[in-house]
Structure 1
Amino acid sequence: MSKRIYLEDIAKDSGVRFGTSGVRGLVTDMTDRVCWAYTMAFLQEVVPGAKRVAVGHDLRPSSPAIIQACTAAAQVRGMEVIYAGALPTPALAYYALQEQIPAIMVTGSHIPFDRNGIKFYTEEGEISKNHETAITQAVVSDIGVYRSAMKLISVSTPLDVYRERYQRFFPENFLGGQRIGVYEHSSVARDFLTKLLQQFGAEVVSLGRTNSFVPIDTEAVSEEEQVLGREWANTHRLDALLSTDGDADRPLIGNETGRWLRGDVVGLLCAQYLDAHTVVTPVSSTTAIERCGAFAHVMRTKIGSPYVISVMQTALAAEKGGVVGFEANGGFLVGNTFERNSCMLGPLPTRDAVLPMLALLALAREQDVPLSALSASLPQRFTASDRIKEFPTERSQALIANLASSHQAIVTVLGEAWGNVVNQDKTDGLRLTFASGQIIHLRPSGNAPELRCYAETDSEEQAKELVGMTLERVRITGEI
């Protein structure tokens, strides 16, 4: 009798498991056997009839080895493997969508380089939470060989198809006369983005390129990166500053002063550019989305693209028009086809960084204003976020449960400065709205042992101070 691998045992023994988007774990735990087993379970349980699969990866040093394990699983099933090489996650997902085939992307997104991950896609887009459950509960035959011996040679077609998506939708040379800085670091999109901007007429300034992996988190931009943004904008006289996280599904956009825009503000402006009617976004995104009055429907979800996609599908099934989604990290999802200036943009129901970049640049050019004026035109609600690293998930959950249980716990941990709590939202973690108008939201990260804190107020400085103060008080009193 052949040996079997139980995915529940794999998750328990290795610690490699599904987070907010894809399987994640320490590189040392993501062995060939673990990655092979997860891939085999996906192919067996979610896309059993597929004959072809597209695979790609980011620039993490551990990613090529993981690809070999994923490829070995596909070969066992007799599948044709289309190796796309290093490319943005949305580029691979879009190609798979056009070809109606599944895809596998090896990336840890924005998390530190000692971790990595695998994202799975069906022919219709990202897998659902139900698919994750099916994979986790799967049993696969253990053949004892977990790495492909085949040399993989990449093809350029997936990236070409992705580029054509934007060239068909945005006006030719619409960035003529613009001077745009690209913070390259270790983003897998750095060369693609530079070439695309140049094709639209921009002068591109290359900034911060490195061969070592940099874990850029677009929801928690470091003070060092904020200083760099201002220095680069001033030194190089930039009209805009662009970057992404590691796998380029989350944008980082700076205006002409080098100030990085919040991802939810980027999403709001991109939705306005598309003239979207229905916006799906997590509870952590700014309330300016409702306050601006631009959208017929605003639907709130838990944090994580699978939740956003699920509610987008519900909206599409209800025949709501112009459906888009975005997260506080800026990753933008398109639910159906949009038309603008007689040009069509098809669906891409996975996070994308390039569309919001081009949309904001196009919107500013159409209005003949700098990027800073776009955000200034919105209701002035300001958000900030940060996290405590190496904060075990169990500890986060215990802290949140205690805060939710009594007013006294809130006073003990967060203080009395903001008055009484007028609303508790437990959609994802705990989001507290105070009588003063301040909002504090605490939740455990779905990707790493971190406690994340979000705040929203009428003042930018106060939002930052509120996050800092909250996390400091948690550090002091968080032994609860």
Structure 2
Amino acid sequence: MSPKFGTSGLRGLVVDLTPACVGAHVRAFLRACPTGTGLFVGRDLRPSSPRIASDVIAAARAQGLAVTDCGALPTPALALAAMSAGAAAVMVTGSHIPADRNGLKFYLPTGEISKADEAAILAALAQDSADSAPAAGPLHGCPEAGAAYVARYVAAFGPTALAGLRLGLYAHSSVARDLLATLLKALGAEVVALARSDSFIPVDTEAVAPDTRRHLAEWCAEHRLDAVLSTDGDADRPLLTDAAGKVVPGDILGVLSAQALGAEVICTPVSSNSMVARIPAFRAVHRTKIGSPFVIAAMEAALARDPNAKVVGFEANGGFLQGFTAAGPAGPLPPLMTRDAVLPIVAPLAAARAAGRTLAEAVAALPPRHTAADRLTEIPTAASAALLAQLRDDATARAAFLAPLGREAGLDLTDGLRINLEDGTIVHLRPSGNAPEFRVYVEAQTAADAQNLLDRALDLVNRALSAH
């Protein structure tokens, strides 16, 4: 299947992301979108990323553009460096998906591309021309990009924000692993390095594998940790556990982070925990389709209505977007309108420590509503689309599908099928926008009920897909 745009940029099999394919998409991006002072390029640690990054750089320089090669660094660090320089950016990453796939994330000088920008790129792609500029654009390096990203959080939170905490850093193949260690120590924490890998490991922070969950709990017990933390491959999605090794869901990290920053307006997809609407400090909650472009669009709309709005966005995967200058414990924290993994790790830990309680206690203080999510992999797109269409359009088929779970009380078609059941639980079905996967999200009153509902819903989806 040819590379295509999903919820997080262009994605495809590595064998399909040829120099010609990459070059065509880069040229289309440069023709369709503003580039400001030039193009910054970064990459994650999967084996194919250096080659693809070289293809991006070569294509941009051939158009006469000045290029800054930032090397391997987190996606939000690249975005911060590029926006600070008034430049566009391309991040080479497949995020959490397996190493046989990769992708490109595109940034304007003002931040992530919108769906309108994506459409413009695709239109320009159809008119591709490989004509080169008379002279190749200059090539620069930016070794300070990672340090600037770390400094952002040290300046805002201060050298004692995490003092006294013993934190496990699940390093695996996250491109942020070394920067995270530096940052956590600079904030006063003791860091225990765990499971660093020389080969790429696709860690999905929204659907943490059972074996990984077991390791997290074992590490907490063995090393007497206050938490274990990590990110996905390009560090725009966080993973954080409490002292027992229990994973704190990304949308809960979003709520805790928003509270810590003093946010008042929340933009978050329909897949996020509905508990967010029950926080008194949040005066407005805007629900969107899944994907950071939709969250950003909602944030920009909120800021257009009120430029002083204390607005943030977050997704169920934990990626956090900050739309206003917040007051950190040690200094101001400027906005960063791109999905970030560091803030929703640092802010909840620092806030809990400052309040004299554990992370688990901070989570327990929130309104009791629990989510769970997982995915079925290697699902043909046609099969996913056929099942979703049948359940959407045929109420009788939908009722039969839901019968083992309960009776439908309401249906939300904002993104996929989000079905409210009569007992108050929720089942949300949605094919992935950037991988051959089918995702299932659920919500219930207790964590045990949510996990049980998820297991049953996944089984039903698997059987239904097998019939298509």
With normalisation by structure 1, the TM-score equals: 0.93
Q: Is the 8 A contact 1:253 1:261 kept in 2?
A: yes
Q: Residues 284 and 328 of structure 1 are in contact (CA less than 8 Å); yes or no, is this contact kept in structure 2? A: yes
Once the two structures are superposed, residues 376-406 of structure 1 have per-residue CA deviations (whole angstroms, 9 ceiling, x without a partner) of 0111111111111111222222212222233
Query: Of residues 200, 203, 217 in structure 1, which corresponds to 2:204?
Result: 217
d(CA) in 2 for partners of 1:477 and 1:54? 45
Which residue matches 1:355?
A: 343
Helix, strand or coil at the partner of 1:431: strand
CA distance in structure 1 between the partners assigned to 2:75 and 2:123 by the alignment: 26
Distance 1:406 1:437 in 2: 22
Report the Cα distance in structure 2 between the residues aligned to 1:380 and 1:165, rounded to whole angstroms.
Answer: 33
- The answer to whether the aligner puts 1:234 opposite 2:221 as a matched pair is yes
2:93 paired residue among 64, 83, 107? 107
In structure 2, distance between residues paired with 1:201 and 1:333: 25
The answer to whether 1:392 aligns with 2:380 is yes
- 1:417 Cα deviation from its structure 2 partner: 4.1
Distance in 2 between residues matched to 1:37 and 1:89, nearest whole Å: 22
How far the C-alpha of 1:132 sits from its partner, in A, is: 0.6
Query: Which consecutive unaligned segments of at least 5 residues does structure 2 have?
Result: none
**Identity among equivalent pairs (%):** 48
2:431 paired residue among 444, 455, 459: 444
| Count of aligned positions | 462
Q: Which amino acid aligns with 1:166?
A: Y
Partners of 1:202 and 1:315 in 2: CA distance: 36
Cα offset, 1:177, TM superposition:
1.8
Question: How far apart in 2 are the matches of 1:101 and 1:313?
Answer: 20
Structure 1 residues not aligned, in runs of 5+: 1-13
CA contact under 8 A between 2:385 and 2:431: conserved in structure 1? yes
Residue matched to 2:265: 278
Q: CA deviation at 1:341?
A: 4.4
CA distance in 1, matches of 2:15, 2:90: 20
Opposite residue 87 of structure 2, the aligned amino acid is I
Structure-to-structure mapping, 1:371-450, within 5 angstroms: 371-419=359-407, 421-450=408-437
- Tell me if the contact between 1:179 and 1:202 (Cα under 8 Å) persists in the aligned partners: yes
Over residues 71-126 of structure 1, what are the superposed CA-to-partner deviations in whole Å (9 max), with x where a residue is unaligned? Answer: 11211122221111100000000111111111111000111110000011011000
Residue equivalent to 1:4: none
1:198 is aligned to 185
For 1:58, the aligned partner's letter is: D
Q: How far did 1:339 drift?
A: 2.1
What is the deviation of 1:279?
0.4
Q: Does 1:97 align with 2:46?
A: no
2:42 matches 1:52: no
How far the C-alpha of 1:462 sits from its partner, in A, is 1.7
Shift of the alpha carbon at 1:144? 9.2
When residues 422 and 85 of structure 1 are mapped into structure 2, their CA distance, relative to the original with a 3 A threshold, is same
1:6 aligned residue = none
Aligned mates of 2:102, 2:385 — CA distance in 1: 24
Q: In structure 1, the residue corresponding to 2:230 is in which secondary structure?
A: strand
Matched, 1:116 2:97: no
Any conservation in 1 of the 2:37–2:85 contact (CA below 8 Å)?
A: no
Shift of 1:411: 3.0
CA contact (8 A) 2:61 2:137 kept: no
Equivalent residues of 2:158, 2:330 under 8 A apart: no
Give the CA deviation at 1:149. Answer: 13
Give the structure 2 partner of residue 69 of structure 1: 55
Q: Distance in 1 between matches of 2:462 and 2:208?
A: 21
Letter in 2 for 1:456: E
Q: Distance in 1 between matches of 2:393 and 2:90?
A: 42
Q: Which residue of 2 aligns with 1:125?
A: 111
Q: Do the aligned partners of 1:111 and 1:447 also contact (CA within 8 Å) in 2?
A: no
> Aligned equivalents of 1:192 and 1:172: distance in 2?
16
Give the corresponding residue for 1:474.
461
SS in 2 for 1:69: helix
8 Å CA contact 1:183, 1:242 repeated in 2: yes
How much has 1:42 moved relative to structure 2? 0.6
How far has the Cα of 1:218 moved from its partner?
0.7
Q: 1:337 aligns with which of 325, 328, 340?
A: 325
Which residue of the partner structure matches residue 298 of structure 2? 311
1:173 to partner: Cα distance: 2.1
Match of 2:249 among 248, 258, 262: 262
Q: Which amino acid aligns with 2:370?
A: F
Deviations 1:432-476 (A, max 9, x none): 001110100001101111111000001212211211111212222
1:39-73 CA distance string (max 9 Å, x none): 1111111026x342111100010000001111112
Check conservation: 1:17, 1:23, Cα contact below 8 A: yes
Q: Does 1:248 align with 2:235?
A: yes
Alignment partners' CA distance in 1, 2:417 and 2:227: 35
| Residue aligned with 1:293, SS | coil
Equivalent residue of 1:142, what SS? coil
